[in-house]
Amino acid sequence: MAAISAGSHHYYAEGGKKMYEKILVPLDGSKESECIIDHVRLIAKSCGVPEVVLLRVVEPFSPSSVSYIGEATARNVEQKTKAAAEEYLSYVADGLRTHCGGVKTAVLEGEPASVILDYATKNGVDLIAMSTQGASGLARWTIGSVTERVMRHSTVPLLSVLPAGRKH
């Protein structure tokens, strides 16, 4: 049983435990992915969430790409990509910290949906909050959607928000 109230009251699950102790917010660097931030800010403030983790997943080069551009170049590009991701998350975290308690950032490498699911499972995440890019029709069928894959395979509740102006 969940207790939900307004104002300065916090939300509690059965047993008096806070409903959300840790929220994972995967971001891909796009404005569309950031549409979830206002929702996370509201939930974190209303529920007294002690920890929000902003996650950026960087996809590694494929072996064929590495053989084409060279290992040193690939390593250099990956380092710059990770540094840019860390800078981006730091910027987003600074804006969120004014309204939330503990905000952490993480930059990990791998296939986005798998990394998100793995991180949530191994780190005691209570809620995954992410936007859907609004992929529909053929785009969703051919390349899939990270949000959709997370939704299908997550054992953790997922809050998914469609960016403004997008249609299913």
Q: What is the CATH number of the domain that holds 157?
A: 3.40.50.620
Look at residue 71 and tell me if it is in a domain: yes
Q: Which of 83-92, 128-137, 142-151 has the highest mean pLDDT?
A: 83-92
Look at residue 79 and tell me if it is in a domain: yes
Look at residue 126 and tell me if it is in a domain: yes
Look at residue 51 and tell me if it is in a domain: yes
The domain tally of the chain equals: 1
Q: Is residue 127's pLDDT more than 90?
A: yes
Structure tokens at 112: 């986005």
Look at residue 10 and tell me if it is in a domain: no
Tell me what pLDDT residue 17 has. Answer: 64
**pLDDT tens, position by position, 51-104:** 999 999 998 766 666 567 777 776 777 888 899 999 999 999 998 988 777 999
Tell me what pLDDT residue 82 has. Answer: 92
Q: Do 124 and 19 form a contact (C-beta atoms < 8 A)?
A: no
More confident residue, 62 or 146: 146
Look at residue 9 and tell me if it is in a domain: no
Look at residue 14 and tell me if it is in a domain: no
Q: First-to-last CA distance in the chain?
A: 32
Tell me what pLDDT residue 158 has. Answer: 95
The whole domain housing 132 covers 21-161
Look at residue 11 and tell me if it is in a domain: no
Question: pLDDT class for 163, splitting at 50, 70, 90?
Answer: confident
* Ordered DSSP codes for 151-168: HHH-SS-EEEEPPTT---
Tell me what pLDDT residue 60 has. Answer: 79
Q: Is residue 135's pLDDT more than 60?
A: no
**pLDDT tens, position by position, 4-48:** 333 444 555 555 567 899 999 999 998 889 999 999 999 998 888
**Cα distance between residue 128 and residue 114, in whole Å:** 13
Tell me what pLDDT residue 46 has. Answer: 87
Tell me what pLDDT residue 128 has. Answer: 98
Tell me what pLDDT residue 72 has. Answer: 77
Edge-to-edge strand order for the sheet containing 127-131?
Answer: 102-109, 51-58, 22-26, 127-131, 158-161
User: Which among 126, 120, 137 is positioned nearest to 57, based on CA atoms?
Assistant: 120
Q: Which helix (H) or strand (E) holds 102?
A: strand 102-109
Tell me what pLDDT residue 5 has. Answer: 37
**Cα distance between residue 158 and residue 152, in whole Å:** 10
